[in-house]
């Protein structure tokens, strides 16, 4: 979290970054991690209508090569991606997509996951002046060290001058007089 002073003894809490804050090669360790519960897996699996019993039937899971229920890989992608938002894209204009999603190791109920991101590329937008595209590679790991997922994600952020104008306007309109 970063605090930006807006006037005497008044600050705005900021998350994410502007285009200029990101440089290729930067590595960001996201915190905190998250331990997956049985409820997380069951609810989100059924919410997304994934009917595969491997994700919510203990008896079925016991008879598979995993020997137990497996956490839905969609949950793994969403959770690891979500861990990155505060530091990377909390101020993004748009999420542009995920590429090269690779599942490396299974995730089970009770596993604690962490995320790390590396800035791969950045470039100014050709179609949206005052904004730029950031591409990151994010790796999700278990607390025991195994890599469970790796993916690339691109998002659009404002350049600093435009971002400061938008934030100032929003802060002034929200200020209670």
CB 62 within 8 A of CB 56: no
Is 143 within a domain? yes
pLDDT of residue 167: 58
CB 72 within 8 A of CB 139: no
Is 70 within a domain? no
Is 66 within a domain? no
pLDDT of residue 168: 61
What is the number of structural domains in the chain? 1
Is 111 within a domain? yes
Radius of gyration of the chain (CA): 19
Listing DSSP states for 27-83 in one string gives EEEEEEEEEPPHHHHHHHHHHTT---GGGT-HHHHHTSTTSS----HHHHHHHHHHH
Is 44 within a domain? no
> At 121, which CATH number?
3.10.129.10
H or E segment at 153? Answer: strand 147-158
Give the pTM: 0.85
pLDDT of residue 11: 79
Question: How far apart (Å, rounded) are the C-alpha atoms in residues 162 and 146?
Answer: 40
From first to last of its 177 residues, the chain has per-residue pLDDT tens of: 576 777 888 877 778 889 999 999 999 999 999 999 999 999 999 899 998 999 989 999 999 999 999 999 999 999 999 999 999 999 899 999 999 999 999 999 999 999 999 999 999 999 999 999 999 999 999 999 999 999 999 999 999 886 566 656 665 666 655
Is 58 within a domain? no
List all residues 6 or more positions away from 160 whose beta carbon is below 8 Å from its beta carbon.
18, 19, 20, 21
Structural domain span for residue 126: 2-36+78-174
Is 60 within a domain? no
Is 14 within a domain? yes
């Amino acid at each position: 979290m970063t605090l930006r002073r807006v006037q005497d003894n008044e600050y705005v809490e900021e998350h994410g970054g502007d285009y200029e804050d990101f440089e290729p090669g930067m590595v960001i360790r996201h915190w905190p991690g998250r331990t997956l519960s049985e409820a997380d897996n069951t609810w989100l699996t059924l919410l997304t209508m994934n009917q595969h019993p491997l994700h919510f039937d203990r008896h079925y899971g016991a008879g598979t090569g995993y020997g137990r229920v497996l956490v839905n890989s969609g949950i793994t992608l969403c959770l690891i991606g979500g861990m990155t938002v505060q530091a990377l894209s909390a101020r993004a204009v748009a999420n542009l997509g995920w590429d090269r999603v690779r599942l490396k190791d299974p995730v089970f109920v009770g596993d604690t996951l962490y995320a790390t991101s590396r800035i791969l590329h950045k470039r100014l937008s050709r179609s949206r002046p005052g904004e730029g595209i950031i591409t990151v590679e994010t790796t999700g790991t278990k607390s025991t060290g195994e890599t469970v997922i790796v993916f690339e994600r691109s998002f659009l952020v404002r350049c600093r001058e435009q971002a400061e104008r938008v934030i100032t306007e929003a802060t002034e309109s929200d200020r209670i007089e």
